[in-house]
Structure 1
């Protein structure tokens, strides 16, 4: 199938800090920094949007994920928090706070609610990797990596992927039942541009935003680039799956301040987690 992107939203309805994104069960898309920094925007499937939530003073969102119960979790990079949002009341609480974090950036979530967070230090070109066990207990998994950014769990929850933006590398780890990582190995390295957010489909292929290049790269579990989906704009920041069948991809594009979308062949892991697949 030919994957071609199109605009879901108008341009510049979000700031250049647009990130996230994540879909709820009803197919609404959420992304950070709608109209101004420190907010969450909600985009309906038809592309109409609204400022849905203003975060507490001092908090700015980056990655967004939902757990199976429907709660939203946000990486709050200015507050060094993982925030939890009750979707019915819009109450925002601190799920985890870790002052040792540089800035929690992107997050991945497992079926049991365990969260993994990337933690880059852009100035130093280094980064960390954290695990947040319910109810909000924070454990450092690895430190002094490159600029950790995109993070994702494989569909069988036996592998964890982390990329390093400045180093243009994607690493894979074995992940055991106790959320311990081992057998770190290089999945793929690129010679140009940068890497940002990434998500798995149900077959374990990674969809990775190539920041600066303006494409989403589909990468096999063996580290082969299978396809590149061209976007409008260059600074794509993150990607998620949604739609009624989980085969609609949504991409946040910072230099266009909006969301673009394309169809894929297989549903996303995040959608499959909703549907018990």
Structure 2
């Protein structure tokens, strides 16, 4: 049964008073007991001590699309022009790899590590006019011997035309990979053979109705102009359920492994961007959001836009995967 989403906004709490322009890529660091996320438009990485209520910021030379913690310490991150490694918070950036795209109109977007510690990065065409986004895998596990990581394009525009890579996640057994193209309102699934790192049997996992012509954000419209949003970032729980933020949809959806909709949770802002599970028991759902390029009327109606929210859930999420190098 799908709960009435009208009640859900009351369940969300404000994590910190910090407001991002475009919050994305959150993860819970289990060793530090801290929440990390990026502000893409603000060119920052942030981390919060939830218990102390403090937030640290790290200014970067270009937009950080995504990041992941590294097993040997520090972070791996995808900036506009490449994938970088930082051994410590705020430390020097070491270029690991360039990806095959033009940074003048494309950049890294959604991404994370798989269970073997390979860093996956999806891209976005900022003009929104071309279906040329790709999904790359950066494997640095043999870096000490090779000197350079192995970079593979796992999903190319020829394989699956896409404009905005999002929704990357894996099933608990690591045999299914999920990936979305936000403008096409579609989440796909592939069979993933982890050891050989191959994808096969692509299928539609979830699809959503397109935005109605002439749609505008209206906080007074309980039906959101009959628009339910489009898939942005995602996370998976220990039962294999897929949780996805619906950009412009004011909600987070929870799908069963068979693609059936289990629940939807209304959010007190228009543009949620990506969930992750955290806290000691991994039963706190954290959610980033956006305010960049949103109208003054929308921001007045949804002053929490750009903040990080949290909500307690019944089922624990999967822990973050660490980068191996």
Shorter-chain TM range is 0.7 to 0.9
User: Helix, strand or coil: the match of 1:196?
Assistant: strand
User: Helix, strand or coil: the match of 2:51?
Assistant: coil
- Measured in 1, the distance between the counterparts of 2:189 and 2:87 equals 32
User: Helix, strand or coil: the match of 2:84?
Assistant: strand
Query: How many pairs are equivalent?
Result: 266
* Conserved? CA contact 1:23–1:29, under 8 Å: yes
Q: Deviations over 1:186-221 (max 9, x none)?
A: 111011421110011111111100000121111111
* Conserved? CA contact 1:108–1:153, under 8 Å: no
Gap change, CA 1:24 and 1:87, over 3 Å in 2: farther
Q: Deviations over 1:15-67 (max 9, x none)?
A: 32221211212321112239x82221211113723333222x2x211223224
Shift of the alpha carbon at 1:97? 1.7
Unaligned runs of 5+ in 1: none
* Conserved? CA contact 1:8–1:261, under 8 Å: yes
TM-score (norm 1): 0.87
Unaligned runs of 5+ in 2: 144-148, 211-228, 292-304
Structure richer in strand, relative to its length: 1
Looking at both structures, which has the greater relative contact order when contacts are Cα pairs under 8 Å and sequence separation is at least 6?
A: 2
Q: Aligned to 1:130, which of 127, 136, 149?
A: 136
Query: 1:73 and 2:76 equivalent?
Result: yes
Q: Aligned to 1:5, which of 4, 7, 12?
A: 12
- Measured in 2, the distance between the counterparts of 1:65 and 1:152 equals 13
Report the counterpart of residue 223 of structure 2 in structure 1.
none
TM-score (norm 2): 0.75
- Measured in 2, the distance between the counterparts of 1:47 and 1:175 equals 40
Report the counterpart of residue 199 of structure 2 in structure 1.
181
Moved more, 91-100 or 197-206: 91-100
Across the aligned residues of Structure 1 and Structure 2, the Cα RMSD in angstroms comes to 2.3
Gap change, CA 1:231 and 1:125, over 3 Å in 2: farther
